[in-house]
Amino acid sequence: MFDIDGTLVQSYDIDSECFTRAVREVVGLEVSADWSTYSHVTDAGILDEILDSNGVSNKKIIHNEIKSAFIQKIQTRINREPVQEVLGASSFLEFLKSMDGVVVSLATGGWYESAVLKLGSAGINYDGIPIASSNDSFIRTEIMKIATSRANMGNSCTCTYFGDGSWDKKASEQLGYNFVLVGGNKLEHKPNILNYETINEVVACIGL
């Protein structure tokens, strides 16, 4: 199971910029892009917390307006400058999909619409891969559970989650999933990988 931003595609900074700009544009609020300070580090969870803490009325309408503005900004940004995959990500996904007894899924804290825009921009083929997102829940562990369900994993299966943030590690621990840190410089954790370029080394992290 894979996160997307910072894990499969190099979009973390783009996401932060477009999100904060969308909030500023719609409701005029300056918000912190230190996502670790929020209770639920998902697009829906962060936005709900911002709107609640600032007493914004018509929350559902405003939430949808900000989401739409954000997705449009992502589209504009990647039209101008396509995002890049984390080195080797696409090939590694295809390798896993070809293996017997392995099921691949995506569980992102981002909204589905922006997630597939970024995957497409990076040239990552997600056809046939179950995706759960912030459209499904504002709680990361619930998103991961939904991805597991959509992948039709049996109860006896073990799950490894690839992510790049402390919130990914925390959610994996709560669910009893193995966790592999991607990027390797945001927090202390082993196993960690810089990218997916050397497939044998990545496979070793998940015991295949």
- Domain spans in the chain, listed from the N-terminal domain onward: 12-80, 89-205
Sheet of 192-193: strand order equals 160-163, 178-182, 192-193
Question: In angstroms, rounded to a whole number, what is the distance separating the alpha carbons of residues 98 and 153?
Answer: 17
Q: Please give the mean pLDDT across all residues of the chain.
A: 92
Pairing state between β 178-182 and 160-163: parallel
Indicate the pLDDT class of residue 175, thresholds 50, 70 and 90.
very high
Structure confidence at residue 36 (pLDDT): 85
User: Residue 154: what pLDDT?
Assistant: 64
What pLDDT digit, counting tens, does each position of 59-70 carry? Answer: 999 999 999 999
Q: In this predicted structure, what is the pLDDT of residue 201? A: 87
Whether the pLDDT of residue 137 is over 70: the answer is yes
The larger pLDDT score, comparing residue 105 to residue 13, is at 105
pLDDT value, residue 156: 66
| CATH 3.40.50.1000, domain 89-205, yes or no | yes
Q: What is the pLDDT of residues 10-59, one digit of tens each?
A: 987 888 999 999 999 999 999 888 888 999 999 999 999 999 999 998 99
Which CA distances in Å does 144 have to 63, 115, 132? 23, 15, 7
Residue 155: pLDDT band with limits 50, 70, 90: low
More confident residue, 157 or 136: 136
**pLDDT tens-place string over residues 9-22:** 998 788 899 999 99
- Tokens 């080394």 locate to 201
pLDDT at 73 over 70: yes
Which single residue is written with the structure tokens 């691949």?
A: 104
When pLDDT is averaged across residues 187-198 and rounded to a whole number, the result is 90
pTM of the predicted protein model: 0.93
Q: Is the pLDDT of residue 161 over 70?
A: yes
Q: In the chain, where do the E strands start and end?
A: 106-107, 131-132, 160-163, 178-182, 192-193
Q: Are 48 and 63 in contact (CB under 8 A)?
A: yes
Cα 137–29–168 angle (5° rounding)?
Answer: 35
- At residue 142, the pLDDT reads 97
Q: What is d(CA 117, CA 199) in angstroms, rounded to the nearest whole number?
A: 26
Pairing of strands 178-182, 106-107: unpaired
**DSSP state letter for 3:** -
DSSP assignment of 10-44 equals S-HHHHHHHHHHHHHHHH-------GGGSSS-SHH
CA nearest to 68, candidates 111, 14, 38: 111
